[in-house]
Amino acid sequence: MLSENLENLVQKERQEGRQEERREAEQRALESGSLSEAQLYQPTL
């Protein structure tokens, strides 16, 4: 039970980490002008 909760927590942290990395990458792209704001807010498939 405890190890299951720990695994869920680790997976959640990994997902949040990926989302944070993606936001940082989008911000860098926006600053460099390679990504328009319209593209930034479109959901990616």
- 29's CB contacts (< 8 A; 6+ apart) are 35, 40
Q: Report how far apart, in Å, the C-alpha atoms of 2 and of each of 5, 7, 21 are.
A: 5, 9, 29
- pTM, full prediction: 0.45
Q: Return the pLDDT at 36.
A: 65
Tell which wins on pLDDT, 11 or 36: 11
CA distance linking residue 43 with residue 4, whole number of Å: 32
3-class DSSP state for residue 41? coil
Percent of the chain exceeding pLDDT 70 equals 71
Question: Tokens 């704001």 sit at which residue?
Answer: 37
